[in-house]
A and B are shown apart, each in its own frame.
Chain A
Amino acid sequence: DAGVIQSPRHEVTEMGQEVTLRCKPISGHNSLFWYRQTMMRGLELLIYFNNNVPIDDSGMPEDRFSAKMPNASFSTLKIQPSEPRDSAVYFCASTSQGGKGFGGYTFGSGTRLTVV
């Protein structure tokens, strides 16, 4: 398995533009998480899905952020319009429920977003 795959690895965009980040979870994992990492605030959970259904989006900063998971193998995080303060590394992670206990997440390599 190639692990959790995120694209693009780097994104530089101008303020006001729409940005779409993509994530492909590990096959068979039924839970997917979007995190934002900054120096000031560390890792913040933005939203997570279970069986493609959004469970908790209370971490989404504001209405400019939206996330979808149309099927078990794909999720997007969209920012529209983007602002400089959105600059961060965005990580996607997946895990599977069930089995003997919770084994933790598998993270993607992240998307480094810079909004200028």
Chain B
Amino acid sequence: AQRVTQPEKLLSVFKGAPVELKCNYSYSGSPELFWYVQYSRQRLQLLLRHISRESIKGFTADLNKGETSFHLKKPFAQEEDSAMYYCALSGTGFQKLVFGTGTRLLVSP
């Protein structure tokens, strides 16, 4: 079974501080991992995916298969980063995405 765990419901930091949003997954096969972001009352948007190994808006995430983690990081948080962040996993076969429960990031000035 596929499962995604985001242990923190809320992460509150000051502007300029480093940010790490935790995501752990459970899947027996070879997963594809994603981070989605939802700004206030807007649609979910794809932020990044592990196969792209890209940096979007200063965020990066590295898939650690040993620790089954895909934590989202940013060295210096900005106020506009305040949003809801969802980690998601897709397994092999049909491309159903399983989402974590989300972490709300609040960046204060």
Contacts and interface: CB of A to CB of B under 8 A. Distances in A.
A103 B46 CA distance: 9
Contact of A101 (B43, B44, B51, B102): B51
Interface string B25-54: 000000010101000001111100101000
A87 B31 CA distance: 33
B102 A42 contact: yes
A42 B43 contact: no
B99 A95 contact: no
Given A42-B102, A43-B86, A43-B102, A105 B43 contact: no
A55 interface: yes
Contacts of B100: 42
Which interface class (under 10, 10 to 19, 20 to 34, 35 or more) fits A? Answer: 20 to 34
A36 B73 CA distance: 27
A107 B99 contact: no
Given A42-B99, A42-B102, A102-B95, A91 B86 contact: no
A105 B49 CA distance: 11
Interface of A: 31, 33, 35, 41-43, 45, 48, 50, 55-56, 91, 93, 95, 97, 101-110
